[in-house]
Amino acid sequence: MRCALPSPGVRVSTSGRATRERRLRSLHVRCSSSSDQTATHVLTFVTGNQGKVDRLRLAMSLQAGCASFEVDGIDLALHEIQADTVLEVALAKAKSAHEILQRPLLIHDCGLCCAALKDAPGPYTKYFNFTVGTAGLLALMRDQQDRRAGWDDAI
């Protein structure tokens, strides 16, 4: 499996404030303090998902030394390749965005991995969601013993 899934039988809570804070801490944002504390550095985050931009801004605001960083969310109409891994999709997006913007940038891509479905839908999660949907996913998982699922992330 490409995804790091919890062990069978382990239940992982996905709701509640404590879980949200753990997810933010798990970003492990590290900022080095600059000698010029008044300088502002712009981190260009290429995404059309304002929620991702907001979560990164919040994570940065919670870290000491990150006050000099500003997150600039930019929505680019990038071609999304069809590939076998989330990493391949993210790398192609990053290269394409860099060709357009000509500056350092951040891309985040992720995919749902279900153990019983051999890590599917993976990089095809968005398409899967629009075509099969939640009800379809639950139907596919109905008689499965191993119902572990996780996210494959690439930043």
Active site residues: 109
C-alpha 9/C-alpha 112 separation (Å) is 19
109 pairs with which residues across the strands?
154
